[in-house]
Amino acid sequence: MENIKKGKIDIDRYRVKENEKVNLKKFPTKRDVNIDKGEVKSAFFPEVIEQLKLYQEKLYAQNTYGLIIVLQAMDAAGKDGTVNHVFANLDPGGVSVASFKQPTTEEKDHDYMWRINKALPPRGNIGIFNRSHYEDVIVTRVHNLISTGQLPRDLIDRNIWMERYEQINNWEKYLHQNGFYMVKIFLHVSKEEQQKRLIDRIFNHEKNWKFSMGDIHEREHWDEYRELYEELLENTSKDRSPWYIVPADNKWFTRYVVALITLGVLKKIDPKFPKLSPEEQKQLERFRDMIKKETDKPLEEIRKEMEKEEK
Ligand code: ATP
Ligand code: MG
């Protein structure tokens, strides 16, 4: 276990490198660094959230780049909790969450990217995808949904999944070349931990509503899902839109790592508050002089008092 000082985790350890062969069994599902839970919850996590807020404000103000965070996982790995605990802290005006369930009749009448494209965030915003286009190379495959779907028969051949990876890679590249960054997060939960959480859904009245027989059926396909996830992680992790395999057995740790990954990509985008034009700058100065005449107090002093009050 790696020893950690001041909450700094090297998140690159969870990133899938381009063309890397992925064996999920080699990636940890439990926290694998020596970091104190209490300290993370009381200090490190809130600090990262504060930084995220500042970056989000800049992203929004600059209105140039967009960011998409894709969350994929087995059932009960904590996608909803991650959304609620990490992203719900940000300004709701600049964040949207799209959850992709079984496609509706209307969605099935279109290509698989149609509903995903409709949910893309505008520039300046962060879009969270709770499941995504990756379902169309995962669940579709496990349950052979392609054979009962509406895709023309002559287009279904052995290469269809490789073709889809190519389509996905091209689409993500296109988005990147148009100013939209994407990071993809696979919440890596162990089969034992999933069992505990499903039991909780059965016995805990407040969690009952989350339980579905579907979860049990999907659990029976655990190994198949694992193998298909390995293949997709290998084929679709790119430097410009990487996959991260995040340990998901300890919720507090997962949320901290996801927050750090998000902060990392925002730092890479490096958004800046827009600069005023010389004309706007002059207007601002004129306005400042007007206000000055209204008060005896130095304006800087008024500002400091206001800052103090806000704290
Ligand atoms: P939880 O993790 O809490 O169970 P969830 O994301 O699984 O939440 P559910 O409403 O339980 O939400 O399930 C949504 C279901 O929709 C999943 O089983 C998922 O595989 C399925 N789904 C999503 N996209 C597609 C798709 N393109 N084709 C078929 N099924 C899909
Ligand atoms: Mg589910």
What secondary structure does DSSP assign to 53-70, as a single string? HHHHHHHHHHTS-EEEEE
**What average pLDDT score do residues 271-285 get?**
93
**Alpha-carbon torsion, ordered 141, 72, 107, 158, to 10 deg:** -20
**Which pLDDT band holds residue 10 (cuts at 50, 70, 90)?**
very high
**In CATH, what number is assigned to the domain containing residue 246?**
3.40.50.300
Q: Which stretches does DSSP call E strand in 46-179?
A: 66-73, 95-99, 126-130
Ligand with minimal distance to 139 CA: 1
**What average pLDDT score do residues 140-147 get?**
94
pTM: 0.92
Same domain, yes or no: 256 and 294: no
Query: CA 15, 21, 23 angle in degrees (round to 5)?
Result: 80
By the 8 A CB rule, do 273 and 62 touch? yes
Same domain, yes or no: 108 and 89: yes
Name the residue of 105, 134, 135 to mutate for ligand 1: max ligand atoms within 8 A of Cβ: 135
pLDDT tens for each residue of 179-237: 999 999 999 999 999 999 999 999 989 888 888 888 888 999 999 999 999 999 999 99
From atom 30 of ligand 1, which residue's Cα is the shortest distance away? 102
Which pLDDT belongs to residue 212?
86
pLDDT tens for each residue of 98-134: 999 999 999 999 999 999 999 999 999 999 999 999 9
Same domain, yes or no: 247 and 295: no
Same domain, yes or no: 256 and 304: no
Ligand with minimal distance to 209 CA: 1
Answer yes or no: is 6 within a domain. Answer: no
From atom 28 of ligand 1, which residue's Cα is the shortest distance away? 102
CA of 288 to the centre of ligand 2 (A): 56
**What average pLDDT score do residues 240-262 get?**
98
Answer yes or no: is 128 within a domain. Answer: yes
Which pLDDT belongs to residue 233?
98
The SS3 assignment for 186 reads: strand
Atom of ligand 1 lying closest to residue 218 CA? 18
Which pLDDT belongs to residue 20?
95
Same domain, yes or no: 22 and 163: yes
pLDDT tens for each residue of 26-73: 999 999 999 999 999 999 999 999 999 999 999 999 999 999 999 999
Which pLDDT belongs to residue 16?
98
| Count of structural domains within the chain | 2
Same domain, yes or no: 26 and 162: yes
Ligand 1 pocket member 207 (CB < 6 A):
no
Ligand 1 pocket member 214 (CB < 6 A):
yes
Same domain, yes or no: 231 and 283: no
Answer yes or no: is 148 within a domain. Answer: yes
Answer yes or no: is 305 within a domain. Answer: yes
The SS3 assignment for 49 reads: helix
Answer yes or no: is 37 within a domain. Answer: yes
Same domain, yes or no: 165 and 282: no
CA of 120 to the centre of ligand 2 (A): 23
Same domain, yes or no: 49 and 135: yes
Q: Which residues have C-beta within 8 Å of that of residue 107, sequence separation ≥ 6?
A: 114, 115
78: left (phi over 0), alpha (psi -120 to 50) or beta: left
CA of 63 to the centre of ligand 2 (A): 34
Q: What is the mean pLDDT of the chain?
A: 94
Q: Which residues have C-beta within 8 Å of that of residue 68, sequence separation ≥ 6?
A: 120, 121, 126, 127, 128, 129, 175, 180, 181, 182, 183
Answer yes or no: is 2 within a domain. Answer: no
Same domain, yes or no: 241 and 295: no
Residues 95, 87: Cα–Cα separation, whole Å: 8
Same domain, yes or no: 173 and 285: no
Whole domain around residue 252: which residue ranges? 11-269
By the 8 A CB rule, do 248 and 194 touch? no
Answer yes or no: is 161 within a domain. Answer: yes
Residue 298 Cα distances to 34, 179, 305, 307, angstroms:
50, 43, 11, 15
Here the tokens at position 224 are 């198949």
Ligand 1 pocket member 80 (CB < 6 A):
yes
Answer yes or no: is 16 within a domain. Answer: yes
Same domain, yes or no: 295 and 216: no
Instruction: Fill in the amino acid letter for 47.
Output: E
Report residues near ion ligand 2: CB below 5 Å.
75
Q: What percent of the chain has pLDDT over 90?
A: 83
Which pLDDT belongs to residue 110?
97
